[in-house]
Amino acid sequence: MARPYLHDVNFDSSPGMHSSADKRLELLEQIKALKEANTSLINTNRQVLKSDSEVYQEILTAAQQFVQSPADETEKALADTLEKYNLLLYSYRYTPTSKDKRDVARMAFNGYVDRPEEYLLSPILRDMKNNPLKRAKTKPDDYDLSHSTVWNVFKQIPEFAATEEKVKKGLSLYGIPPEKLAELQLKDFCFILNNQYRSLGKDSAKVFSESYKARHTKRFISEYEDEFRQGLMSMKGVQKEYVDALVSAMKNGITDLTKTPLWKDEWRNQPVIDVHHIVNIKDSSLKETDNKSFAHINDYENMCFIVRHPQHDAMHALEQDLNQKHREDIFYNRDIEQSFIYRIQPPEGVKCMIGFHTFIYDRDVLGLEQKPKQQLIDQKRKDPNYYKNQHGRREALRKEEKYRGSYGRNYI
Amino acid sequence: MEEIIFNQIKQNIGCNKAAEDAQIRVTNLKLKQDGFSPLPDEFIALLKFANGLSNDDVRVFGAELKDLTYFDDLVTFNRQFFHQQSANWLILGRDDNFYLIYVPSLQAYQLVDQDTLQPEISSESLEKPLLSFLRI
C-alpha cells in the first residue's frame, strides 16, 4: 500500500480555482508531483506562506464581515477564504441530536461515565435510593432493558452494551419496579453504572478499558509517525525533545503531555494536539443514515488530529460567532425549522492539520486520484449541506421574512 | 476548596505552576477595566494552587498567561469571547461542550452547555462543577 503524504501547499498560488473539489484535485496533482520528484515543499514553501496567526486574522476578518452584514456575498467570501486553507464552511438546517445521544457519544469518546449528583436523578430512583423499604423485590432477570429508550441509546456503544448485566443488577439492588423502567433517565443509568463499578473497587472510567480517543490516537501515530514528526518539526520553535515525548505519549493513547511524568514546564508553549470530530458530536444525528447508528460519530474516519492553537480554537471560536442567530432561535424557540447552524470542517480525508498550511492526508485520498475530475465535483455538489448549494435559498427566505437576521446583536 | 480536592486534581490533571499574587492582581485590574466582575475568591485559591489546568480538551484558565499553548489566559479568552464588551458572567474554563462560568449576580459557579448556554450544574461552591468539568 502506498504511504500517505505530508505536504505544504500555497493555495494563493493556485489561481482560477473555483471549488473545493477543484482544489483537492490540484492538491492531488501536487502530491503526485512531489511523489515523482521525491522532494518536500515543507521548508521551501513555508517562507512565502502567511503565518498561522496571519491566516487566523484573515479568516476572522471575513467571518466578522459576514456576521455584521449577513448576505450571500459575505458568506461566499468567508467560504472562499476558508477554502484557501482547506477548511469548508457547512450550514445545516437544524436537525437536533438528542442530548442523550450527544452525552453517550461524548462519554464513549472520553472513556468516562458522568457521575451525577443525587439531585439530578429521576424521582423514581431518588425515592428508591432513599427509602429502602419501598424497594420492589426484583431479580436482575426481571428487567427487559429494551423498554427503556435511554438504554436503547446506550446500547449502541458496544462497551455500554456489555454492561447490561451490571445495569440489571444495579436496578435490582435499588428495587426499581420493572414497569417504571421507561421513567429512568440517562443520569440514572450513569449513577447505577458508577455504583456498580465502584462496588467492584474500580473507577467509573473502567467501563471503557480504553477511550475511543486513546484508541484513535494510538492508531494514528502508528500509521503516520514519520509524517507527524516531520510536520511538527517544520513549525517554528518546536523542540525535538518535546516531539519525541509527545509521540511516545501518543503511542500510549495520550495527547495531553501535562498529565504524564514526561512533562516539563518549559514545554508550556509547545504545540498541543487535539483530536477533532470532523462532523461535530453535536450533529451525531447526521450519521444516522442508511440504518447506521449515531455511534459512528466516534469512528476513526471522523477524526482529525489538529494543532490546538490557533487552528482548533479558531474553528470553534468562529462557529460560536457564526451561530449567534441559531442560539437565539433555539433560546426563543423561534423559526427553528428555518434555523441554520454553521460548522467549519476539514475536508474528508484530512487526517491531521499542523498549522493552516500543513496537512497529512488519509490513504483514502489516494483512492480519489483514480476518479475523473467531473465525478469529484459532482460528488461535492450533491452534498445538500455544502454552502454553495444554498446560494439564493437564504436570500429567498429573507425576502419572505422567515429568516430575520440578527447576527449583529451581542447574544450575551 | 479542601486540600484533598487539590491533591485529587494534582494526581489526575495537568497543572501549571501556582499563580503569583502579582498575576492575580493584574488580571483583576484588566477585568475591572473591561467591565467584568473580579475573580471570585474560591477561584483565586485554585489559581494559587495551579495557574491553569489541562485535561485533554478540558482547560481551566489561568492568570496572565501569554503565548502559552497548554494553558489559556482568562482575560484573553473572555475578551475574545465577548468581543471586548463587558458581560454579566465570567468564563473560567472550557472544553468542547461546556463552559465553566461564574455568575456574580447569583454568586454561583455553573457548567453551561455551549450550544444553549443553559446550566447543567449550578453551585455556590466551585468544587462540584469543577470536579465534574475535569472528569475526576
Sheet containing strand A6-8, edge to edge, reads A6-8, A358-361, A350-354, A303-307, A273-277
Q: What is the mean pLDDT of chain B?
A: 91
Q: Last residue of a domain, which of A186, A207, A228?
A: A207
Of A213, A267, A282, the CB nearest to B115: A282
Q: What pTM was computed for the model?
A: 0.81
B89 touches chain A (CB under 8 A): yes
A404 lies in some domain: no
Do residues A394 and A296 both lie within one domain? yes
- Give B40 to chain A, closest Cα distance, Å: 20
Chain B (2-41) residues lying within 8 Å, Cβ to Cβ, of chain A: 12-17
Do residues A310 and A180 both lie within one domain? no
Residue A368: the pLDDT is 47
Of A213, A269, A281, the CB nearest to B69: A269
Of B70, B87, B135, the CB nearest to A258: B70
Q: Last residue of a domain, which of A207, A224, A256?
A: A207
Range of the domain at B60: 3-134
Rounded to an integer, what distance in angstroms lies between the CA atom of residue A370 and that of residue A365? Answer: 10
Do residues A188 and A324 both lie within one domain? no
Do residues A134 and A173 both lie within one domain? yes
Rounded to an integer, what distance in angstroms lies between the CA atom of residue A193 and that of residue B19? Answer: 38
A217 lies in some domain: yes
Rounded to an integer, what distance in angstroms lies between the CA atom of residue A80 and that of residue B121? Answer: 40
Q: Which chain A residues are Cβ-neighbours of B117 within 8 angstroms?
A: 327, 331
Q: Report the chain B residue with the minimal C-alpha distance to residue A120.
A: B121
Do residues A349 and A293 both lie within one domain? yes
- CB environment A172-192: b (16+ within 10 A), e (fewer): bbbbbbeebbeebbbbbbbbb
Please state which of the ranges A216-225, A315-324, B14-23, B56-65 shows the lowest mean pLDDT: A315-324
Do residues A22 and A117 both lie within one domain? no
A34 lies in some domain: yes
Please state which of the ranges A328-337, A377-386, B73-82 shows the lowest mean pLDDT: A377-386
pLDDT greater than 70 at residue B106? yes
Do residues A271 and A382 both lie within one domain? yes
Residues 6+ apart with CB under 8 A from A316: B96
CB B131 within 8 A of CB B123: no
- Give B104 to chain A, closest Cα distance, Å: 15
Residues 6+ apart with CB under 8 A from A70: A325, A405, A407
A63 lies in some domain: yes
Q: What is the mean pLDDT of residues A377-389?
A: 50
Q: How many CB atoms lie within 10 A of CB A40?
A: 15
Rounded to an integer, what distance in angstroms lies between the CA atom of residue A342 and that of residue A64? Answer: 14
CB A5 within 8 A of CB A31: yes
A14-43 per-position pLDDT tens digit: 333 345 566 666 666 665 555 554 433 333
Of A117, A309, A327, the CB nearest to B117: A327
Q: Which chain A residues are Cβ-neighbours of B97 within 8 angstroms?
A: 102, 106, 281-282
Rounded to an integer, what distance in angstroms lies between the CA atom of residue A107 and that of residue B95? Answer: 13
Any alpha helices (H) in A283-411, and if so which ranges? 313-322, 324-331, 363-368, 373-382, 393-399
Q: Do residue B85 and residue A410 have CB atoms under 8 angstroms apart? A: yes
pLDDT greater than 50 at residue A67? yes
Up-side HSE of residue A195: CA atoms within 13 Å toward CB?
Answer: 18
Q: How many CB atoms lie within 10 A of CB B120?
A: 19
A273 lies in some domain: yes
Q: Which chain A residues are Cβ-neighbours of B15 within 8 angstroms?
A: 258
Q: Report the chain B residue with the minimal C-alpha distance to residue A113.
A: B135
Q: Report the chain B residue with the minimal C-alpha distance to residue A99.
A: B113
Which cell goes with B70? 497548554
Range of the domain at A187: 112-207
- Give B120 to chain A, closest Cα distance, Å: 9
Do residues A145 and A219 both lie within one domain? no
Residue A189: the pLDDT is 95
Sheet containing strand B119-123, edge to edge, reads B14-15, B53-55, B58-60, B90-94, B98-103, B108-113, B119-123
CATH at B31: 3.40.1580.10
Per-residue confidence at A321, pLDDT binned at 50, 70, 90?
Answer: confident
Q: What is the DSSP letter of A332?
A: T
Q: Count up the domains in chain A and report the number.
A: 2
Do residues A217 and A78 both lie within one domain? yes
Rounded to an integer, what distance in angstroms lies between the CA atom of residue A106 and that of residue A294? Answer: 11
A345 lies in some domain: yes
A237 lies in some domain: yes
A105 lies in some domain: no
Residue A46: the pLDDT is 47
In a 3-state reduction of DSSP, which class is residue B95?
coil
Nearest to A107 by CA among A253, A252, A211: A211
Q: Last residue of a domain, which of A176, A192, A207?
A: A207
Pairing mode of beta strands A358-361, A350-354: antiparallel
Residue B58 pairs with which residues in a beta bridge?
B55
Do residues A249 and A163 both lie within one domain? no
Rounded to an integer, what distance in angstroms lies between the CA atom of residue A113 and that of residue B136? Answer: 10
Rounded to an integer, what distance in angstroms lies between the CA atom of residue A302 and that of residue A287? Answer: 10
Do residues A266 and A395 both lie within one domain? yes
Do residues A201 and A220 both lie within one domain? no
Q: What is the DSSP letter of A94?
A: P
Which cell goes with A392? 439564493
Nearest to A40 by CA among A226, A195, A182, A219: A226
Q: How many CB atoms lie within 10 A of CB A375?
A: 12
Residue B110: the pLDDT is 95
B56 touches chain A (CB under 8 A): yes
